[in-house]
Structure 1
Amino acid sequence: MRKKTLTAMLSVALLATTGLSACSSGSGSDANTITYWASNQGTSLQNDKDVLTPQLALFTKQTGIKVNLEVISWDHLLDRITTATTSGDGPDVTNIGNTWSASLQATGAFVDFDNTALGKVGGKDKFLATSLSSTGAPGKTPESVPLYGLSYGLFYNKKDFAAAGITAPPTNWTDFVADAKKLTNPAAKKYGVSLAGASYTENAHFAFIFGKQQGGNYFDNSGKATFASPQNVKAVKQYLDLLGADKIAIPSSAEHGATQDAVADFTGGRASMIMAQTNTTASIAKGGMPTSDYGVAPMPIESPLPAGGERVNSHVAGINIAAFKDKNTEAALKFINFMTSTTEQISLNKTYGSLPVVKGAASDAAFQGATTKTFVDVLSTTSAPMPMVTNESQFETTVGAALKELIAQSATGKVLTDTDVKNALTSAQQKLATS
């Protein structure tokens, strides 16, 4: 998923505790009309309208149901959805960031995807199991289904690897660090890797991913925060050491507020590797780097795995689709079934550079090229959902901000210790408790 607003997430958490839910005497849609709020997946809101309009026309032709489309930017989508959960003045169908699933589920504002509802959109077995794992809190009936998938991978410069005598991308953390050292030459302003170290979302994602490899969790089974566990401390320390102790990340990583900043280092020849999501390929192309110049591999996994460690090298990233209660439910479910059909999944994900979340599309030849297949395999086999808790957004902001500060300290030459990391994670957990 993409950028979230903390204020909106706090509103959602409040709804969860007060038990408010959407209720409306009417949706403003008749039996042959629905309203759809789509998230911004393309290069602009207009680009999304251009992509989706002919697909919606096809749905209307097949079913007779008209779709009123509104594309909403990620900066405003959650605020709009949150308001609709209390006012009842919302659409029939909306896209949601998949890490919002548990928070929005707690409002009770959306159609439950029980066996009956799931049957109307193709059934549980239609979807990738990993993508389904990010549709709501464990043990509760989900209130959304997957729509678009994303996952992380390791992008590497083939020419740089060849020049350094590296014959294959690293598969474990030890080799990753060793290779990055071979690729680093500060005198030539060349580094092994570039990070989006000032991005709280990227920091939180990597803290989670590497934490899973170390056997850590940021919340226990009861939902209690466990940020400063020894496993999480070790995971965060290994990430920070890329810039600090190992000195293999470009120093400007501490100032990079978005993945695109790291991509600029990669395409500009200043860094030989970046860890980024599926749709980064578009930014690389925009930077003028041809696909023949780089390769993609799964992100390295700690080997051997420590006790309790998991083979995880991505979180289950992506976008879900949900239907508001007390609206045109039957038409909404028909539309969700259409959007998650094999044909639409192939068409839309090819266009957006994202990954299909249904089995029939994931195996299509369109997603079997070397680069795309790597991301598909990661999403379907070695991804784990971000914490499905109502305060997931606060987790990302507090942990991400803590890492941002630690990375800034590393960039100044400070040698960070395990105690520094533990104190920062403890402080982040305290901020979570008071937010």
Structure 2
Amino acid sequence: MSRRHLAMVVAALLTTASLAACGDGGGSSEGAAKTLTYWASNQGASIEFDKQTLQPELDKFTQQTGITVNLEVVPWSDLLNRLLAAATSGKGPDVVNIGNTWSASLQATNALVPFDDETLGKVGGKDRFVPAALAAAGAPGKPPAAVPLYSLAYALYYNKKMFSDAGIAAPPGTWEELVETGRKLTRSGQWGLAVEGANPSENAHHAFAFGQQWGGEWFDPAGKPTFDTPQNVAAVKRYVDLMAVDKIVNPSNAEYAQNQSVADFANRKAAMLLWQAAGSNLKAQGMSPDEWGLAPVPFPAVTPPGGKKINSMVAGINMAIFKHTENLDGALQFVKFMTGDEEQVILNKTYGSLPSVKTVSADPAFQAPEQKVLGEVLATTAAPLPQVPEESQFETLVGTAMKELFADAAGGKPVTEASVKEKLGVAQQKMGS
């Protein structure tokens, strides 16, 4: 995808006001050598939680280097659009967090500093990073567009007391068992499972994992979209049917966006949750770790033809530097600091994520049950989303198509193979427009 094409995408997505909201990076002002602007993605239960978590660490960096870091925590609903705007305008922060699935898309703008071997050497070297995490930092065959900061995977969270009260001894291992379990747990004021039907990125992440299980691919080897194949149709329908057919998801979840499903689980309105490293978020909302258990995301009882044993994307957050920074040395110092051993333990422990570097993986902070399950998933049954320039469009278009299907389900409109194929077909056509 060309820089010009991405500029057209941004123009279609953003208003003038949102473009104006992207201020000049700290590197463009007087005293640039001592200032950086950092956009951090919202990782915790709230933006305020992230500010309280990150500011002491940024102050520590300032004490060590004399470089002040101006922090803005950006909600996920705004982050991609603002990053694309900064990429095309040449104005914005010096250092950013990006969802690792967007790495190839943002790399294609040519707006990010490439982490070739020499640049990687300035932040500790290629061999320091977990290979699976670094593989999700840009298109194959090119220097990474970023370096990994937090590593994540999806898992199934379940409420132990609700399971015990319903006489359920163990978490489900198959989708068939999950539906059966969910029906036992769905009763007045309580639902079997919480989802976020109005969250396009969350929808697309599940579409990818389900697609892998049902033998589908979202792009062919040449990078051409293949959204409406029978396998992908079946995979998306299986996910939406948790609401539409199985009735174990509250229809109101069709309107849920960021973190609302986590809130339902934390507030005992739902007995199960599919999420990336939810522990810190749940604790921030008052749920004790003793109240919930964790298991891998289920698989079909019988593997469909061509299906793979994949139950999560390789999830995570990467750190990138914009080429427009006037303080590249300071930005590299900051990336090295944030991916250093001490900060990797502090931050990943706080967020319940996994470290992106090999040197601290054995730390006791990452031996808790949650981290062990997530680590096992990442090591054995996770796969990276397609590292193609159009990946961010895939998330937006397929995720929005699924949002519309959830809205149909919530409104009592049948969700059929034909309607799923139609929605995915429209999304595929938009990819080429």
Question: Normalised by the shorter chain, which TM-score bucket?
Answer: 0.7 to 0.9
Which deviations, in whole Å up to 9, do the C-alpha atoms of 1:312-350 show, x marking residues without a partner?
A: 222222221122336443443232222111211001222
Counterpart of 2:401?
Answer: 402
- What's the offset of the Cα at 1:88? 4.2
**Do the aligned residues in 2 keep the contact of 1:8 with 1:79 (CA within 8 Å)?**
no
Paired letter, 2:271: S
Equivalent residue runs for 1:277-426 within 5 Å: 277-278=276-277, 280-325=278-323, 327-426=326-425
Counterpart of 2:155?
Answer: 153
SS in structure 2 opposite 1:249? coil
Percent identical pairs in the alignment equals: 50
The gaps in structure 1 that reach 5 residues or longer are 1-5, 15-23
Counterpart of 2:230?
Answer: 230
Residues 338 and 182 from structure 1, CA distance in 2 versus in 1: closer, same or farther, beyond 3 angstroms? same
- What's the offset of the Cα at 1:176? 1.7
Does residue 139 (structure 1) correspond to residue 137 (structure 2)? The answer is no
Counterpart of 1:70?
Answer: 71
Provide the C-alpha distance between the structure 2 equivalents of 1:412 and 1:84, rounded to a whole number of angstroms.
Answer: 38
Paired letter, 1:290: S
Provide the C-alpha distance between the structure 1 equivalents of 2:45 and 2:184, rounded to a whole number of angstroms.
Answer: 36
- What's the offset of the Cα at 1:61? 4.7
Counterpart of 1:271?
Answer: 270
Equivalent of 2:164 in 153, 162, 167? 162
Provide the C-alpha distance between the structure 2 equivalents of 1:32 and 1:127, rounded to a whole number of angstroms.
Answer: 28
SS in structure 1 opposite 2:54? helix
Does residue 173 (structure 1) correspond to residue 172 (structure 2)? The answer is no
Residues 428 and 292 from structure 1, CA distance in 2 versus in 1: closer, same or farther, beyond 3 angstroms? same
**Do the aligned residues in 2 keep the contact of 1:298 with 1:378 (CA within 8 Å)?**
yes
Residues 174 and 76 from structure 1, CA distance in 2 versus in 1: closer, same or farther, beyond 3 angstroms? closer
- What's the offset of the Cα at 1:206? 1.1
Provide the C-alpha distance between the structure 1 equivalents of 2:266 and 2:50, rounded to a whole number of angstroms.
Answer: 27
Provide the C-alpha distance between the structure 1 equivalents of 2:56 and 2:284, rounded to a whole number of angstroms.
Answer: 26
**Do the aligned residues in 1 keep the contact of 2:50 with 2:73 (CA within 8 Å)?**
no
Paired letter, 1:147: L
Paired letter, 1:211: G
Provide the C-alpha distance between the structure 2 equivalents of 1:231 and 1:78, rounded to a whole number of angstroms.
Answer: 28
Equivalent of 2:97 in 64, 75, 95? 95
SS in structure 2 opposite 1:239? helix
SS in structure 2 opposite 1:289? coil
**Do the aligned residues in 1 keep the contact of 2:200 with 2:400 (CA within 8 Å)?**
yes
**Do the aligned residues in 2 keep the contact of 1:13 with 1:390 (CA within 8 Å)?**
no
Provide the C-alpha distance between the structure 2 equivalents of 1:198 and 1:45, rounded to a whole number of angstroms.
Answer: 20
Counterpart of 1:430?
Answer: 429
Provide the C-alpha distance between the structure 2 equivalents of 1:417 and 1:427, rounded to a whole number of angstroms.
Answer: 16
Q: CA RMSD in A?
A: 3.1
**Do the aligned residues in 2 keep the contact of 1:9 with 1:393 (CA within 8 Å)?**
no
- What's the offset of the Cα at 1:226? 0.3
Residues 183 and 9 from structure 1, CA distance in 2 versus in 1: closer, same or farther, beyond 3 angstroms? farther
Equivalent residue runs for 1:174-253 within 5 Å: 174-185=176-187, 188-253=188-253
Provide the C-alpha distance between the structure 2 equivalents of 1:234 and 1:83, rounded to a whole number of angstroms.
Answer: 35
- What's the offset of the Cα at 1:39? 0.9
Residues 344 and 380 from structure 1, CA distance in 2 versus in 1: closer, same or farther, beyond 3 angstroms? farther
Residues 353 and 225 from structure 1, CA distance in 2 versus in 1: closer, same or farther, beyond 3 angstroms? same
SS in structure 1 opposite 2:242? coil
Which deviations, in whole Å up to 9, do the C-alpha atoms of 1:140-196 show, x marking residues without a partner?
A: 2211111122322111111222233322111222222222233234xx344322222
Residues 267 and 330 from structure 1, CA distance in 2 versus in 1: closer, same or farther, beyond 3 angstroms? closer
Which deviations, in whole Å up to 9, do the C-alpha atoms of 1:344-394 show, x marking residues without a partner?
A: 100122233433211223331112111233223333433222232323232
- What's the offset of the Cα at 1:428? 1.7
Which has the larger displacement, 364-373 or 192-201?
Answer: 192-201
The gaps in structure 2 that reach 5 residues or longer are 14-24
Equivalent residue runs for 1:15-34 within 5 Å: 33-34=34-35
- What's the offset of the Cα at 1:293? 1.9
Provide the C-alpha distance between the structure 2 equivalents of 1:139 and 1:233, rounded to a whole number of angstroms.
Answer: 31
SS in structure 1 opposite 2:310? coil
**Do the aligned residues in 2 keep the contact of 1:130 with 1:381 (CA within 8 Å)?**
no
Paired letter, 1:382: T
Residues 96 and 197 from structure 1, CA distance in 2 versus in 1: closer, same or farther, beyond 3 angstroms? closer
Provide the C-alpha distance between the structure 2 equivalents of 1:9 and 1:213, rounded to a whole number of angstroms.
Answer: 34
Alignment coverage as a number of residue pairs: 414
